[in-house]
Amino acid sequence: MGVKLGEYPVKRIVKRDGRVVDFDSRRIREAIKKAMLSVDKYDENLLDRVVEYVLQVIAEKYGAARTPHVEDVQDIVELALVRFDLYEVAKSYILYRKQRERVRKEKMLILETDYLDEVDKRFSGNALRLMASRYLLKNEEGRLAERPKQLFQRVAALIVIPDILYDPLIFDVEAKQKPHPQESFSPDSWAGKIGLGKDSEGYHVYWNKWHLERMKKLYDNLNAQGCMRHPWSVFWEMLLAGTFDHHYQDYLNYYNLMVEKKFMPNSPTLFNAGARLGQLSACFVLPIEDNIESIMRAATEAAIIFKSGGGIGINYSKLRPEGDVVFSTSGVASGPVTFMRIIDTVTEVVKQGGKRRGANMGILEVWHPDIEKFIRAKEREGVLENFNVSVLIDDKFIECLEGDIPYELRNPRDEKVWGAKSPSHLFHLIAEMAWKTADPGVLYLENINRRNPLRKVLGDIRSTNPCGEEPLYEYESCNLGSVNLYAFVRVAEGRREVDWDGLQEAVKIAYRFLDNVIDVNNYPLPSIDEMSKKTRRVGLGFMGLADLLFALRVPYNSEEGFKLMQKITEFIAYHAYSESIERAKSRGVFPLYWQSSYVKGQLPLEGFYHRELWTMNWDRIAEAVRTIGIRNSFLMSIAPTGSISMLADTSSGLEPVFALLYEKHVTVGVFHYIDPEFENYLKEAGLYNEQIFKLVADNGGSIQGLDVFGEEAKKVFVVAYDIPWWDHVRAQYHVGLWVDAAVSKTINMPSWVTVEDVENAYIFAYKLGLKGITIYRDLSKSSQVLVTPSQRESRYITQVENDTLEIMKRLGIDVKLPSSSVSMKVGKQLQVSAASLDVEPVVSLEVGNGGEKFSSCPECRGKSLVWQEGCVKCLDCGWTSCVIS
């Protein structure tokens, strides 16, 4: 046709939203390639010819003077495919166009708009629906007041403020300045008039009054410490003059990290950053003493935290037992469980006015005389509906259990012995109640505190947040965030691998993000503000592990899978610690550093004490921590990510996926949701069709037992109930080696397991050094929406070679299963049948969270509710009862 590609005249193209952008011929090539692959007609030479023809037609039709519209280009592609007799490919391409048009219309409906910007397009309809219902600010009429782009701008604009105020031009890390006089400031008068990234047309991002209010608060706080080189008025003039405009790049780093779905902070940060409440943390622990004043104060403080969007943990062990004397009234104490109901009622009342329910972790230590009543507290429905409960077990109890020695119970009021209990009886009771109701969980006191760097100065940590991944001191809080591992899969030389350089950069930015949250957080109570800044705890974790393993074709519960989990967690921890050390140089150490074990070069990571496990230079970190210091007392936490992982379109936390494919019910109808990496596999394998979708959906979202799939695929593409419970425990162990706080993980068990299996899980977890464990036996809280073969056939179907059972045997743990149905080899998985087990599943028609029952999703009224990460989750809209995710 006479036009050489190097002389191609069309340089720009008009997008659907009216924007004119650079023309990229690679997008045409990729679209045609996808259409070819979808009908198994891929031919690279033919692809080159079709693309060349399309580009020549566009060149002849538009030349250098005219700019084509994207729809015009797509019309030309359709005609080209027909010209080359690629009718099936043309049909696939046309169907894809129609599907994309449907998706665009659905997104516009969700966002109440008539166009989509570049950020809207990045996120799925699923994610946008969740944003619109949960995260985007609304006006007084309940209509959306911002778009996803504005949400992430609002958050990033707040998070960058500490970078400005800690700039050496204004901040003195040696704190040698005399505090400047307090100056008045009106955030309202400057709202929307100042920001970052100034050019001839104004600022690229503007601060609102809530941003400016937090800026002034942080300045005043640092000024009071003698760290500000100049008075507020001088700083303000410097800001107006653009002195700190180089921090616009920091703003872009935070913004892009979220928009590119590489990282998301915990939900309260997305809700409240740059908004009226300004409370950014999810996790809190409150004290409660053995008097009515303290009890009622705890109820009041809990209400304030719930109102701000957080959840709380309380250890109730200081309260005297039921039947003990109350000297002030000559009455009789009612015990801790009764007083837990006060907090439960407060949660119920406050949640009605907020975005979601509050959540509680109620803890009682195993030596308390009311321990049996506590263990049975949630046996009956309707009691403590807003609580997760956990028993805190000490080493002495385990010693008594192993030696069959009676275990003493003590009155916390005077430490007098109130009798003794059979430890095996208590242990069996805990397991039995967890088997029946999924409560209580178990926490291990010494495992939590063995590497605790603040143990000598603050004593033992005896409480956790509602989901257990953050053991916290009283009045301490933590802000969490998760890196999306799936975003760091790349193709190199024809094979998929982890983009370690990209992950390292993301970890550094994500860490800085979370450290900045501490400084601009509007804490709900002054005591929490003070304690949180003493320890400067952050919780960096990850999501998307299951999808990353899918992409790399590594079985979740293989030795290779466990090793990769461990390596990735170590890698994240290493670079988070490195960056915290760098921050200590420029901003100072956390206030309790000098009283911590860090000054001796000791790290609160179990993996650090096992040199044979290292893949990074931890000697360098230990020496730097000792000689330079560190900015934060704790850095790592693997939290539930139910909602934020749905925003990022990836799997939750370190959990396996719940289903590879299932029917999703939304306002515009019913369609199949497919895990993104499983979808890639189906296309590569030529199995991407409605018949396969229905086959997998009818199989509970699992591919086990389906002959159409090969054995390797069955090992790789496993869902939660395909994986034996002991491998769930082991996954938590390998990740936990490099986590200084703790790990939130559901140990999924099918309905046919026994109480003894639960006991074995507890012992296995304890001996591996886990800090806590939560089991969920299928049907103990819900009717099952998705029933996989392992649930339906009462046996684990998939056999993946690993060493878990051998490890358990070495630890003295014997998994007893019916010999008639066990296929056991050392180093291999069991194939287990429970046909002969006398197990009566506890079935209800509703899903429970704590004790709260949901017959349908409170957000979308859908029925597709499942139990994951210790929370109720709606598969249709992404709603979750968890306050963190």
What's the Rg (C-alpha) of the chain?
Answer: 28
Helical residues (DSSP H) of 334-440, grouped into ranges: 336-351, 371-375, 395-403, 423-437
The dihedral over CA atoms of 423, 426, 427, 431, expressed in degrees to the nearest 10, equals 170
Residue from 393, 386, 382, 375 nearest 436 by CA: 375
**785 to 81, 697, 789: CA distances (angstroms):** 43, 11, 13
Do 171 and 227 contact (CB within 8 A), yes or no?
yes
Catalytic residue among 146, 213, 385, 469: 469
Catalytic residue among 208, 223, 386, 465: 465
469 is catalytic: yes
Catalytic residue among 227, 467, 478, 877: 467
Contacts of 358 (CB under 8 A, 6+ apart): 302, 305, 306, 310, 311, 312, 347, 350, 351, 386, 883
Q: Terminus-to-terminus CA distance in the chain, angstroms?
A: 56
Residue from 549, 551, 561, 554 nearest 803 by CA: 561
Do 763 and 843 contact (CB within 8 A), yes or no?
no
Residue written as token pair 């990460």: 869
For 670-730, the DSSP string reads EEEEE-HHHHHHHHHTT--SHHHHHHHHHTTT--TT-TTS-HHHHHHS--GGGS-HHHHHH
223 is catalytic: no
Residue from 299, 646, 269 nearest 477 by CA: 269
Q: What's the CA angle centered on 164, arms 158 and 166, to 5 degrees?
A: 115
Residue written as token pair 């019910």: 665
For strands 195-196 and 205-206, give the pairing: antiparallel
Do 863 and 448 contact (CB within 8 A), yes or no?
no
What is the CB neighbour count within 10 angstroms for residue 383? 16
Residue from 475, 472, 499 nearest 487 by CA: 499
Supply 336's token pair.
Answer: 């801790």
Contacts of 819 (CB under 8 A, 6+ apart): none
402 is catalytic: no
- Residues annotated as catalytic are 465, 467, 469
